[in-house]
């Protein structure tokens, strides 16, 4: 069960945890739209979604946030789930979305990962975007655990996962942090990234 849930440290000390389910993608937009309704997802995934979620998050299958995708969303709430109707879009076709739900921390397994808040220490105006763990620790004392297990990097503008940008990374690991160097890019400068670290809860 530990692979199905993650505990997310939203802000402040590491005991303000939020529990997120795994991502679900039940439908695709080939019919009237992309219908990821809570009732249907709970029916097809028994025990994997709490009865009354406290939050919902949706992204395209390629990692774009709803805001970045720019589509008209019919419903996105913890009661109904997520619905994108093809008829509401200018091009009459929704993108394909995946959703996850937030539950009370007790719903998570104890082996889950706690995530720090997002950090954005540098920008790519110089030699690149340097988000090194040591530098982030100095600037944010007590906010990152001693031995991070995971690292995640996304762009600051629309939260595109770093691995989906097509850029090359000099450093991208939980031991050292994240570095995107201008000299490693073929056609453009590094985008501006923010990072967070996964720690044992």
Task: Please identify, among 89, 107, 125, the residue that sits at the C-terminal boundary of a domain.
Answer: 107
The pTM (predicted TM-score) of the whole model is: 0.52
Dihedral of alpha carbons 109, 50, 72, 10, sign: negative
Task: Please identify, among 80, 107, 134, the residue that sits at the C-terminal boundary of a domain.
Answer: 107
Provide the 8-state DSSP code for 94: P
What pLDDT is attached to residue 109? 59
Nearest to 132 by CA among 168, 185, 165, 180: 180
What pLDDT is attached to residue 5? 47
Q: Are residues 86 and 127 in the same domain?
A: no
Q: Are residues 136 and 190 in the same domain?
A: yes
Provide the CA 171 distance to its chain's centre, in angstroms: 20
Give the CA count within 13 Å in the CB-facing half-sphere of 115: 17
CB 177 within 8 A of CB 103: no
CB 150 within 8 A of CB 172: no
Nearest to 103 by CA among 141, 47, 158, 156: 47
Q: Are residues 103 and 128 in the same domain?
A: no
Provide the 8-state DSSP code for 59: E
Q: How many domains does the chain have?
A: 2
**Terminal alpha carbon distance of the chain:** 16
Q: Are residues 102 and 127 in the same domain?
A: no
What pLDDT is attached to residue 201? 67
Q: Is 134 helix (H, G, I), strand (E, B) or coil?
A: helix
What does the pLDDT profile of the chain (201 residues) look like in tens digits? 334 444 444 433 333 456 788 889 989 899 999 999 999 999 888 888 888 898 999 999 888 888 888 999 999 999 999 999 999 999 999 999 999 998 877 676 555 667 899 999 998 888 999 999 999 999 999 999 998 888 999 999 988 888 888 899 999 999 999 999 999 998 879 999 999 998 876
Q: Is 36 helix (H, G, I), strand (E, B) or coil?
A: strand
Domain residues for 73?
A: 5-107
């Amino acid at each position: 069960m530990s692979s199905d849930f993650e505990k997310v440290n939203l802000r402040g000390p590491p005991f303000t945890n939020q529990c997120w389910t795994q991502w679900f993608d039940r439908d695709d937009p080939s019919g009237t739209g992309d219908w990821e309704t809570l009732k249907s997802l709970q029916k097809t995934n028994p025990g994997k979604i709490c009865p009354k979620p406290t939050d919902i998050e949706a992204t395209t299958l390629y990692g774009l946030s709803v805001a970045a995708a720019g589509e008209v969303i019919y419903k996105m709430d913890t009661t109904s789930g997520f619905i994108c109707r093809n008829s509401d879009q200018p091009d009459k076709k929704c993108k394909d979305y995946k959703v996850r739900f937030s539950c009370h921390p007790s719903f998570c397994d104890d082996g889950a990962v706690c995530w720090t808040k997002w950090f954005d220490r540098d920008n790519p105006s110089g030699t690149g975007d340097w988000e090194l763990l040591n530098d982030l620790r100095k600037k944010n004392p007590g906010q990152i655990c001693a031995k991070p297990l995971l690292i995640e990097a996304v762009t600051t503008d629309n939260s595109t996962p770093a691995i989906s940008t097509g850029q090359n990374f000099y450093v991208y690991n939980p031991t050292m942090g994240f570095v995107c160097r201008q000299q490693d890019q073929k056609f453009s400068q590094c985008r501006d990234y923010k990072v967070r670290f996964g720690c044992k809860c």
